[in-house]
Structure 1
Amino acid sequence: MTWDILTVIGVVAFAVSGSIAAMEERYDILGVIILGLVTAFGGGATRNLLLGIPVSNLWEQGNLFVIAITSMFIVFLLPNLWFHFIKQWMFFDAVGLAAFSIQGALFAVDMNLPTIAVIVAALLTGSGGGIIRDLLAGRRPLIFRDEIYGLWAMLVGLVIGLGLVNSPIEFYIVFVLVVLLRMLSVYFGLKLPKKPIYRKKSKKV
């Protein structure tokens, strides 16, 4: 039940975030559908490729495709007045990140993979679709921007991989915490350390 609920939440959230990103870039309805689908299913497909799971498994999720496309059409058909209140797609991306990172970690645990593989599965499932979305939209992926993003997915993989979270209620608590931490990262501009390298300007002769 936990798996199914998190999967549906992640699919809807990422389908909506992909649709909003497409509309912000002024894509047509086909572009909205394509960007929404790759956002919703790209992370899971990337994870499956890494873990050696047949890509054909993706097409066994017929109901999820219907849910994703329905969500995208609802967003596309909303009047601009209502769209103004939901266009902050950072929230939907945070929800998708939380739901899919937990789902990816559980997927790896079910395969009896080591903790490092659980962390990678959580990261790829939680952020893979968003990376593909941003690349197709001509944006720098969120995972590489200033505010902390991928770290929260990796922490999810760590706690689940170490067996610190087991019951459904604990998974939902982790879900809420990841959404809150991601949104707080954006609100307060929380960043990981970085060290940019600047090239010296050559003197003109």
Structure 2
Amino acid sequence: MSWELFNVLGISAFAISGAIIATEEKYDLFGAYVLGLVTAFGGGVIRNALIGLPTDALWKQELMIYVALIAITLVLFCPSPWFQYWKKWLNFFDAIGLAAFSIQGALYATDKGLPLVAVIFAAVMTGIGGGLIRDVLAGRKPLVLQKEIYALWSVIIGVVVGLHWVSGNVQLLVLCGLIVALRMVSTIYGWHLPGRIVHRKMS
């Protein structure tokens, strides 16, 4: 139940963010659907390859593919004023996708009995994979490679879930909401990780 819940949240949010960016980059309809689908499912495919799950499991998620297609269609065919409103919430949809998919990836890894480092890695790659592919295909600098705090939230989720500090749908939903809130606060206030730590003095 937890997997499906966060699967729907993550797929919907990332499909919407992919469609919004595709529209901003003036993709045609086909390109927009491709970018939206890649954003929605890219992280899951990467996770499956890394933790030993079959990568063709994607094609067994027929319902989830329809969910993504509906989400993309809502963005592409909504009236222009609505699209401008959705566009303002791009970071919010991205934050939902990041949190939901990170939790889902961590749950998959813990269910397989993998060690903590693998749980963290699964959380990170599931959470950032789709967005990373989306940004690369759209010709944008990936968020995860910038100073902006992004993948760190996935790491935190991996630690919390991997150490079994939360259990059950309610606690996982609270964790998801907390990470979404922290991600939005970090975006609003410009929190960022340091770049180069040691700087050579200019002669």
Normalised by the length of structure 2, the TM-score is: 0.95
- Number of residue pairs aligned between Structure 1 and Structure 2: 199
1:35 aligns with 2:48: no
Which residues of structure 1 form unaligned runs of 5+? 199-205
Q: Determine the structure 1 residue equivalent to 2:156.
A: 155
1:54-203 matched pairs, under 5 angstroms: 54-88=54-88, 89-195=90-196
Superposed CA RMSD in Å reads 1.5
Identical aligned residues as a percent: 49
Residues 130-155 of structure 1: per-residue CA shift (max 9 Å, x gap):
00000000001111123200000010
Residues 94-127 of structure 1: per-residue CA shift (max 9 Å, x gap):
0000100000000000000000000000000000
Quote the Cα distance in structure 2 between the aligned partners of 1:103 and 1:51: 13
Structure 1 segments of 4 or more deviating over 6 A?
Answer: none
2:40 alignment partner AA: A
SS of the equivalent of 2:14 reads: helix
8 Å Cα contact 2:95/2:183 also seen in 1: yes
Quote the Cα distance in structure 2 between the aligned partners of 1:77 and 1:58: 26
2:7 alignment partner AA: T
8 Å Cα contact 1:146/1:189 also seen in 2: no
8 Å Cα contact 2:147/2:194 also seen in 1: no
Quote the Cα distance in structure 2 between the aligned partners of 1:93 and 1:26: 19
Larger Rg: 1
